[in-house]
C-alpha cells in the first residue's frame, strides 16, 4: 500500500489558491551554494538573495498574504568567518538604505524579531528608525528575523516573565505568547525552507508547533513568484488537524 494513496488523503486539487495562508515564514537558505555553483564568491549569493527578497515581498502582497517572516541572520550565523559576517552586516545596512522608501510606499510595515543589542549602535539606530518609519503601514507585516534564534527567544521570554514577577501558576500558553518576540503576530501557517536542507535551524520553534512545512528544491535566489505559487498551492491542499480528527464531531 502506498502512503500517498491510502494513509494521506490530500484535499482534491484545483487550480485556484482557495486557501491563502495568513502568515508565511521563509528560511532563505542556499545563497552560498547558489554563488559557488556559478563560480562566484558567497557574498554574490547574498546580494542575489536580497534582490530576490524584493520580488517575493511584492508577490506576497499580490497573493494577499498579511504576514511574512524572513530568516535573515541567525544567532548561530555569528560563527561564520568574520569576512562573511561583516559582509552580511554591510549588506543589510545598505538594503535598509536602498529599499526603505519603496517598502514604505508599498505599505509594508517592518518589524524585527531577535536581539538588536548584539549589533553596532549605528546599525541598531538605523533599524529602529526604519521600524518607526513604517509602523503605521498595514498592507504587509514583514517580520525580519535578524540576530534571531528560537532558543534565545525562549530564554529571553523566560527572563522577562521572571523579571515581571509572574507567579508560576499564572504562566500559560497565552501568557508565553505575549512575551515572545512575535507578540501580537499569529503563528506561521506555512514555513518554507529553500535549498534542500530538511531542518528548522532554530527558527520559530515555539510558533512553528503546528505550521505546515514546505521544502522547494531551489536555492533562495531562484525562489521566484512561480515557486511561491507552487508552495501556496501545496499549502491549500493540506489538511490541518491540530491533533484532532478531521470532520468528526460529537
Q: Catalytic positions, please?
A: 29, 77
Q: How far is the CB of 79 from ligand IPE (least distance, A)?
A: 9
Q: Which of 131, 201, 218, 236 binds ligand IPE (CB under 6 A)?
A: 201
How many Å apart are CA 250 and CA 241, to the nearest integer? 16
Applying CB under 5 A, does 189 fall inside the site for Mg ion?
no
Tell me the residue number closest to ligand IPE, measured at CB: 32
For 28, phi then psi, to 5°, come to -85, 80
Residues in 12-31 that interact with ligand IPE by CB under 6 A: 27-31
Applying CB under 6 A, does 68 fall inside the site for ligand IPE?
no
Cell of 137: 503601514
Closer to Mg ion at the Cβ: 29 or 189?
Answer: 29
How many Å apart are CA 136 and CA 187, to the nearest integer? 21
How many Å apart are CA 92 and CA 47, to the nearest integer? 10
**Alpha-carbon dihedral of residues 193, 24, 28, 99, nearest 10 degrees?**
170
Selected range binding Mg ion among 24-32, 124-132, 220-228, 232-240, rule: CB under 5 A: 24-32
String marking each residue 76-115 x if it binds ligand IPE according to CB under 6 A:
-x----------x---------------------------
Beta carbons of 192 and 217 less than 8 angstroms apart: no
- DSSP letter assigned to residue 44: H
Beta carbons of 30 and 52 less than 8 angstroms apart: no
Q: How far is the CB of 27 from ligand IPE (least distance, A)?
A: 5
Q: Which of 29, 99, 187, 189 binds Mg ion (CB under 5 A)?
A: 29
SS3 128: helix
71 makes contact, choosing from ligand IPE, Mg ion, none, with CB < 5 to 8 Å by partner type, with ligand IPE
How many Å apart are CA 43 and CA 84, to the nearest integer? 7
Closer to ligand IPE at the Cβ: 21 or 30?
Answer: 30
Contacting residues toward ligand IPE, per CB under 6 A: 27-33, 71-74, 77, 88, 195, 197, 199, 201
Amino acid at each position: 500500500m502506498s502512503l500517498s494513496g491510502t494513509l494521506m488523503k490530500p484535499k482534491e486539487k484545483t487550480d485556484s489558491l482557495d486557501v491563502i495562508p495568513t502568515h508565511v515564514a521563509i528560511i532563505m537558505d542556499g545563497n552560498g551554494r547558489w554563488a559557488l555553483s556559478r563560480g562566484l564568491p558567497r557574498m554574490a549569493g547574498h546580494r542575489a538573495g536580497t534582490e530576490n527578497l524584493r520580488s517575493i515581498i511584492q508577490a506576497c502582497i499580490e497573493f494577499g498574504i498579511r504576514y511574512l517572516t524572513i530568516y535573515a541572520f541567525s544567532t548561530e550565523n555569528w560563527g561564520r568567518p568574520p569576512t562573511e559576517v561583516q559582509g552580511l552586516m554591510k549588506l543589510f545596512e545598505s538594503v535598509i538604505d536602498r529599499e526603505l522608501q519603496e517598502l514604505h510606499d508599498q505599505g509594508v510595515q517592518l518589524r524585527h524579531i531577535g536581539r538588536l543589542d548584539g549589533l553596532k549602535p549605528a546599525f541598531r539606530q538605523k533599524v529602529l528608525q526604519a521600524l518607526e518609519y513604517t509602523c503605521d503601514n498595514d498592507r504587509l507585516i514583514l517580520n525580519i528575523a535578524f540576530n534571531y534564534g528560537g532558543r534565545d527567544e525562549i530564554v529571553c521570554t523566560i527572563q522577562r516573565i521572571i523579571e515581571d514577577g509572574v507567579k508560576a501558576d499564572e504562566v500559560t500558553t497565552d501568557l508565553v505568547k505575549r512575551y515572545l518576540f512575535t507578540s501580537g503576530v499569529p503563528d506561521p501557517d506555512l514555513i518554507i525552507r529553500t535549498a534542500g536542507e530538511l531542518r528548522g535551524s532554530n527558527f520559530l520553534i515555539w510558533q512553528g508547533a503546528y505550521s505546515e512545512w514546505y521544502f522547494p528544491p531551489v536555492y533562495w535566489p531562484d525562489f521566484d513568484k512561480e515557486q511561491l505559487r507552487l508552495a501556496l498551492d501545496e499549502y491549500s491542499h493540506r489538511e490541518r488537524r491540530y491533533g484532532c480528527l478531521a470532520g468528526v464531531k460529537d
